[in-house]
Amino acid sequence: MTDFGVTDDGFVLKPFDQILGESFDRARAVFGDIDLTNTSPLRKILEVTAAEDGELWKRMEDLYYGNFVSTAFGHDLDLLGEDVGLPRPSLPSTGEVLFTLTAPAQARRYIVPEGTIVVTAPPVRAFGTTATVTLDNDNTNVPVGVVAFEPGHGGDVPKNAIVDVDPTYRAIFLADFGGATLTVTNPAATTGGTRTEPDDVYRARLAGLARNLWTVDAVAQAALGVSGVLDVVLSDPLGGVDVSQSYFATFAFDQRAFSSEARRIGEPYFFDVVVAHDFRAPWRTVGPVQGIFERVRAAVDAVRPVGIHPNIVEADHIEVGVRATVVVQPGSDGAALLAQIRQRLATDIGGGRLGGDVLYSQVVRAFVEQPGVVDVQRLHLRRVPPAFGRITFGGVPHQSAVAEAAVGDNLPMGPTELAVFSPGGDAIDLTLVSS
């Protein structure tokens, strides 16, 4: 006989025909030989009650699986997160702003970088642009998307609430506009701050939650909980192998809790936290936007052991592009197809982790899975070195110009490097040809 309900293999749902059959057996036991054919009034009553009982079994199944992170969803998943002190995070508001250039110089282009900080009137709400904007004498009004730096409903601001570029950001990055004047506003309200993380993302966050304190896992979790942080790598010490020592290549680095065996009690000890972040978020505090560095340090300080101090290091964000010839079907919309390919590449490449190589096969799929693409030929992966200083521990040489891999080769990343898709510039060279 099959067991139903809670079993060693989980919850086994009782099917409708089993419930109805048991109802027939009970009716015969009470009334004897009765009519239970399809036209019987009693059968109709039993079918209705069996259907209600079936819904109760489904509800019991939901209640059972709602007790586990791997199977819970919706409100049940929220309750599990609250139990462990990790409520479901909110998402940032998004919208669009319009940059307007007044009195531009002839034959000059004005660049507003991606990540430019635009602000509302007090109380200040800060947003970052999601793309680079180019203005000139012929293009003085250019729209661009923005995303709030802080998640939550506070980023939902009404129309025309965004009034200026942050003065500190303007003084640092937009000081060379000369006699031209740059203004900004949002033609429509920003929205989305009331949304929360989807179940799959929140479930993965809960599944990886560290259940301990003062450990490497707990510190990594605290850093990953900072808005704008994409990935972290902790090491004890990071690449700190002293090759002059006799135990070089034999000691189990990165496998101890903050070098507890090698550190004398009472002595300060420093470890490295390499942080990869959304490059639109400033590393150091700029105007009203608190920097990733300061926020990660504050989060790590809450869980680090006494006498052990973090060295917060910015990861190298390596711009990745491609050079290829794309064969398309006759009559295809080339501009739309290129936009779809770029969007797919941004999703696939931007979803990696620190030290994760960019796979040639993954990039090929981004091309050939687009409707209208017949083939992709002579595809080379490209990488552009970071604009500022980098840290490296071998394996990936320091490049001074665009580096291009051979056809079929993956693009290796160092342990402190994060691949970021570059939608334009020198790294992208795509040629469309009709089949």
Phi-psi region of 234 (alpha: psi -120 to 50; beta: other; left: phi over 0): beta
In a domain, 83, yes or no: no
Helix axes 41-65, 16-31, angle to 10 degrees: 130
At residue 341, what are phi and psi to the nearest 5 degrees?
Answer: -65, -45
Whether residues 18 and 104 fall in one domain: no
Structural domain includes residue 385: yes
Residue 215 has pLDDT above 80, yes or no: no
Q: Is the pLDDT of residue 389 over 60?
A: no
| Shared-domain flag, residues 299 and 348 | no
Is residue 371 included in any domain, yes or no? yes
Confidence check: pLDDT of 61 > 60 = yes
For CA atoms 147, 153, 156, 162, the dihedral sign is negative
> 343 and 421 share a domain?
yes
**73 falls within a domain:** no
SS percent in the chain: helix, strand, coil, step 5: 25, 25, 45
Residues in the chain: 435
Q: Which helix (H) or strand (E) holds 62?
A: helix 41-65
∠ Cα 282 294 162 (to 5°): 45
Ranking 29-38, 258-267, 322-331 by mean pLDDT, the lowest is 258-267
Same domain, 326 and 374: yes
Residues 6+ apart with CB under 8 A from 41: none
Residue 333: its pLDDT value, please? 85
Burial of 333 (0-12, 13-18, 19+ CB in 10 A): exposed
- Percentage with pLDDT > 90 across the chain: 43
Computed over every residue of the chain, the mean pLDDT equals 84
**What does the alpha-carbon distance between residue 230 and residue 117 come to, in Å, rounded to a whole number?**
20
The whole-number average pLDDT for the span 110-119 is: 92
Count the domains in the chain: 4
Same domain for 407 and 324:
yes
Structure tokens at 85: 């002190």
Report DSSP letters for 126-187, one per residue.
EEEESS-EEE-SS--EEEEEEEESS-SGGG---TT-EEEE-HHHHHHHSTT-TT-EEEEE-S
- Decide: 353 and 290 in contact? Cβ < 8 Å: no
Owning domain of residue 226: 211-314
**Whether residues 363 and 378 fall in one domain:** yes
Residue 233 pLDDT: 84
| Measured distance CA(84)–CA(72) in Å, rounded | 15
pTM score, whole prediction: 0.69
Q: Are residues 366 and 413 in the same domain?
A: yes
Residues 281 and 324 in one domain: no
Q: Among 314, 342, 366, which residue terminates a domain?
A: 314
Report the percentage of the chain scoring pLDDT > 70.
87
For residue 286, the cross-strand partners are: 289
Residues 180, 247: one domain?
A: no
pLDDT in tens, 191-200: 999 999 999 9
**Contact 143/96 with Cβ under 8 angstroms?**
yes
Alpha carbon distance 391, 401 (integer Å): 17
pLDDT digits (tens, 9 = 90+) for 66-108: 999 989 999 999 999 999 888 999 999 999 999 999 999 888 9
Quote the pLDDT of residue 88: 92
Q: Which residues does 316 contact at the CB level (< 8 Å), separation at least 6?
A: 386, 390, 391, 392, 414, 416, 417, 418
Q: Within this chain, do residues 342 and 404 fall inside the same structural domain, yes or no?
A: yes
- Higher model confidence: residue 324 or residue 175? 324
pLDDT at 157 over 60: yes
Q: CB count, 10 Å around CB of 102?
A: 10
Structural domain ending residue among the three candidates 27, 50, 65:
65
For residues 25 and 281, give the distance between their C-alpha atoms in angstroms, rounded to a whole number. Answer: 68
The region, left, alpha or beta by phi > 0 then psi within -120 to 50, assigned to residue 246 is alpha
Does residue 391 share a domain with residue 336?
A: yes
Q: What digits encode the pLDDT tens for the residues 225-278?
A: 898 898 888 876 544 433 344 444 444 444 555 555 555 555 667 778 889 888
Q: Strand, helix or coil at 404? A: strand
pLDDT classification of 159: cutoffs 50, 70, 90: very high
pLDDT score recorded for residue 302: 85
Q: Which of 137, 116, 130 is nearest to 184 (CA)?
A: 116
Average pLDDT of the segment spanning 300-320 = 84
Question: Is residue 374 in some structural domain?
Answer: yes
**Residue 197 included in any domain:** no
Judge contact between 84 and 206, C-beta under 8 A: yes
Q: What is the pLDDT of residue 293?
A: 94
- Rounded to 10°, the helix 360-368/334-350 angle is 150
**Residue 78 domain-assigned?**
no
Q: How confident is the model at residue 119 (pLDDT cuts 50, 70, 90)?
A: very high
Number of Cβ atoms within 10 Å of the Cβ of 257: 15
Q: Do 229 and 283 fall into the same domain?
A: yes
In this predicted structure, what is the pLDDT of residue 253? 46
Look at residues 314, 338, 362 and tell me which one is the last residue of a structural domain: 314
The residues that bridge with 419 in the sheet, in sequence order, are: 318
- Note the pLDDT of residue 236: 60
Residue 80 within a domain: no
